[in-house]
Chain A
Amino acid sequence: MSERVVPTLWAGVLAVLMLGPALGPGFVLTYDMVWVSDLALTRDVLGLGSGLPRAVPSDAVVAVLDEIVPGLVLQKIVLVGALVLAGAGAAEVVRDRSLTARLAVVSLTVWSPYVAERLWMGHWPMLLAYAAVPWLVVAGRRWAAGERGPVWMLPVLLAGSLSASAGIVAGAVLLATGLRRGRRPVLLLAAVVAVNAPWLVSGLTHASEAASATGFDVFALRGDALPAPLAALSLAGIWNTSVVPASREGWAAWAALLLVMALAVAGLRRWWASDGQRVAILALWVAGLAVALAGWAVPEALDALARDVPGLALLRDSSRLLPLCLPLLVVTVAAGVDTLTERLRTTAPRWAAAIVLALTPVAVLTDAAWGLAGGIGTADYPPAWHHARGALGEETAPGDVLVLPWSAYRAPSWNGGRPVLDPLPRMLTRASIVNGDLVIGSTVIPGEDLRTATVFDELSNTDVTGQVTNLRQLGIGYVITDRSAGDAPRIAGEIVYEGGDLLVQRLPERDHRTPAAKAGPAVIGAWVAYGLAWIGATTSTVLLLISMVRRQTAKVRG
Chain B
Amino acid sequence: MGNIIAIVASILVGGGVAAATIVGVVTSSTDNTVENPPSVSESTVQYGTND
Which A positions have Cβ atoms within 8 angstroms of B?
Answer: 17, 20, 31, 121, 218, 222, 239-243, 246-247, 346, 348-349, 351-353, 355-356, 359-360, 362-363, 366-367, 369-370, 372-375, 405, 407-413, 416-419, 438-441, 484-487
How far, in Å, is A215 (CB) from chain B's closest CB?
10
- Residues A440 and B13 in contact in the complex (CB < 8 Å), given A246-B33, A484-B40: no
User: Which residue of chain A is the closest to B4 with respect to CB atoms?
Assistant: A348
- CB-defined A-B contacts under 8 Å, sample of 18: A31-B48, A242-B49, A352-B13, A355-B14, A359-B17, A359-B18, A359-B21, A363-B24, A369-B29, A373-B34, A374-B29, A374-B33, A405-B43, A407-B44, A411-B42, A413-B40, A416-B36, A441-B46
Beta-carbon contact of B49 and A367 below 8 Å: no
Q: Complex: how many Å from CA A419 to CA B6?
A: 51
A360: chain B residues at CB < 8 Å are 17
Beta-carbon contact of B48 and A486 below 8 Å: no
Q: Which of A362, A409, A419, A484 contacts B25 (CB 8 A)?
A: A362
A412: chain B residues at CB < 8 Å are 40
How far, in Å, is A268 (CB) from chain B's closest CB?
25
Report the contact-size class of chain B (Cβ under 8 Å from the partner). Answer: 35 or more
User: Which residue of chain B is the closest to A368 with respect to CB atoms?
Assistant: B28
Beta-carbon contact of B28 and A222 below 8 Å: no
Beta-carbon contact of B40 and A411 below 8 Å: yes
B32: chain A residues at CB < 8 Å are 373-374
Specify which of B25, B27, B43 lies most central, judged by the most chain A CB atoms within 10 Å of its CB: B25
Beta-carbon contact of B3 and A346 below 8 Å: yes
- Residues A441 and B51 in contact in the complex (CB < 8 Å), given A369-B28, A370-B25, A419-B37: yes
Beta-carbon contact of A348 and B11 below 8 Å: yes
Beta-carbon contact of B33 and A441 below 8 Å: no
Main secondary structure, interface of A, reads: helix
Q: Complex: how many Å from CA A374 to CA B9?
A: 36
User: Which residue of chain B is the closest to A360 with respect to CB atoms?
Assistant: B17
Specify which of A17, A352, A356 lies most central, judged by the most chain B CB atoms within 10 Å of its CB: A352
How far, in Å, is B39 (CB) from chain A's closest CB?
8
Beta-carbon contact of B25 and A348 below 8 Å: no
B10: chain A residues at CB < 8 Å are 348-349, 351-352
Q: Complex: how many Å from CA A408 to CA B9?
A: 56
Beta-carbon contact of B21 and A366 below 8 Å: yes
Q: Which of A20, A121, A352, A484 contacts B29 (CB 8 A)?
A: A20
User: Which residue of chain B is the closest to A484 with respect to CB atoms?
Assistant: B41
A366: chain B residues at CB < 8 Å are 21, 24-25, 27-28
Report, nearest first, the 8 A-B pairs whose CB atoms are least far apart.
A486-B43, A366-B24, A240-B48, A352-B10, A417-B36, A352-B14, A370-B29, A374-B32
Beta-carbon contact of A240 and B37 below 8 Å: no
B24: chain A residues at CB < 8 Å are 362-363, 366
> 4 new A-B pairs (CB below 8 Å) besides A240-B50, A356-B13, A411-B40?
A348-B6, A374-B32, A411-B36, A441-B50
Q: Which of B11, B27, B43 contacts A407 (CB 8 A)?
A: B43
How far, in Å, is A52 (CB) from chain B's closest CB?
15
How far, in Å, is B23 (CB) from chain A's closest CB?
8
Beta-carbon contact of A239 and B50 below 8 Å: yes
Q: Complex: how many Å from CA A247 to CA B21?
A: 13
How far, in Å, is A260 (CB) from chain B's closest CB?
16
Q: Complex: how many Å from CA A497 to CA B6?
A: 73
User: Which residue of chain B is the closest to A375 with respect to CB atoms?
Assistant: B34
- Residues A351 and B14 in contact in the complex (CB < 8 Å), given A408-B47, A441-B50, A484-B40: yes
B13: chain A residues at CB < 8 Å are 352, 356
